[in-house]
Amino acid sequence: MTEAIGWFSSFILVLTISKQVYKQWKSGSSEGVSKWLFLGQITASVGFTVYSVLVGNWVFVVTNALMLVSAIVGGLILLKHRRTERRGQQSASAARDSRPVHA
């Protein structure tokens, strides 16, 4: 029963985080999302995965490994959105600068 509670909790956590990353990807925006969130999650997930392997807790090994994957994917989505936003701002700025000036 103990293992079942652990696996169920793991499933819910990974599902919740995955749903949020999917929403971020689907919306095409990462507005309000900090890069530090993903850097912190990656760092913590690596540490917790290593720790879980060392103590032999496979529920936490799998959970933390999946959390690491979600953090990497979320971080890559964030970088893609930021790059797209910068290009859009540069294009808008270039369009403004290329308009003829009327006296």
- The residues, any chain, with a CB within 8 Å of residue 62's CB and separated by 6 or more, are 10
Task: Identify the residue whose tokens are 């600068």.
Answer: 97
27: confidence class by pLDDT, cuts 50, 70, 90: confident
100: confidence class by pLDDT, cuts 50, 70, 90: low
Given this model, what pLDDT does residue 101 score? 61
Chain centroid to CA 10: 18
| Least-confidence region, from 35-39, 79-83, 86-90 | 86-90
Prediction pTM value: 0.74
Please enumerate, as own/partner, the contacts of 79-87 that have beta carbons within 8 Å and a separation of 24 or more.
Answer: 79/35, 81/24, 81/28, 81/29, 81/30, 82/30, 84/28
Q: Which SS3 state, helix, strand or coil, does residue 31 take?
A: coil
Q: Does pLDDT of 58 surpass 60?
A: yes
Task: Identify the residue whose tokens are 């290329």.
Answer: 98
102: confidence class by pLDDT, cuts 50, 70, 90: low
